[in-house]
Structure 1
Amino acid sequence: MSSSSQSGRLPVGSDKAAGTVGFSVIIKLIFFTLAMFVLPIVTYYYTVNGIFDGNGTYAAGAAAGMANLVALGYILAAVLEDKEKDKDKKE
């Protein structure tokens, strides 16, 4: 039989805490998921008539830019969280 079981258990020798996800990680995921859904839509509708005078192409570009900013923010939050965990392990 292999070292990992098919019944959902962790591999032999692994730490049980390694498979758990913290509450703050779930909150960040929910926040960035909502931001990825809401902010580009709000950006499009705000800019299509408010800034770009009905030009949907530019408004769609602004919405795409907002989606990229949200994705970049999620990546930065994940990197900073990982650095904090590494810092805590060293101490």
Structure 2
Amino acid sequence: MSSSNNIQSTQGRLPLGSDKQAGAVGFSVIIKLIFFTLAMFILPIGTYYYTVNGIFEGNGTYAAGAAAGMANLVAVGYILAAVLEDKNNDKKDKKE
């Protein structure tokens, strides 16, 4: 027998001493992800159709620019929410 039969794969296993909940994603994170996903889909499209006839009087270029701006605002909001959540988790870890 060769020595390669004694080697076991560690793929899919947690490191020794690690918590099983360490990689789990919380419910609030899933809700935030769903919210920002819907916002990224609905707000730019809604902004385009609202502004193309209501504000920019048929000029699709300006309306598309407004929609792109709204998509950027949603992305920045998602980043800020993630940073604030990470800071809150760091404060909780320091208290424990």
Q: TM-score, normalised by structure 2?
A: 0.85
Aligned to 2:34: 30
Are 2:91 and 1:87 aligned? yes
Aligned to 1:10: 14
Are 2:62 and 1:51 aligned? no
**Deviations, residues 14-58 of structure 1 (Å, cap 9, x unaligned):** 321211000000000000000000000000000000000000000
* RMSD of Structure 2 on Structure 1 (CA): 1.5
Structure 2's unaligned 5+ residue stretches are 1-6
Q: TM-score, normalised by structure 1?
A: 0.90
Kindly tell me the number of residue pairs found equivalent between the two proteins. Answer: 89
Aligned to 2:72: 68
Query: Where do 4+ consecutive residues of structure 1 move more than 2 Å?
Result: 8-15
The percentage of aligned residue pairs carrying the same residue is 83
Measured in 2, the distance between the counterparts of 1:38 and 1:17 equals 34
What amino acid sits opposite 1:66 in the alignment?
A: M
How much does 1:10 deviate?
Answer: 2.4
How much does 1:68 deviate?
Answer: 0.3
Measured in 2, the distance between the counterparts of 1:44 and 1:72 equals 19
Structure 1's unaligned 5+ residue stretches are none
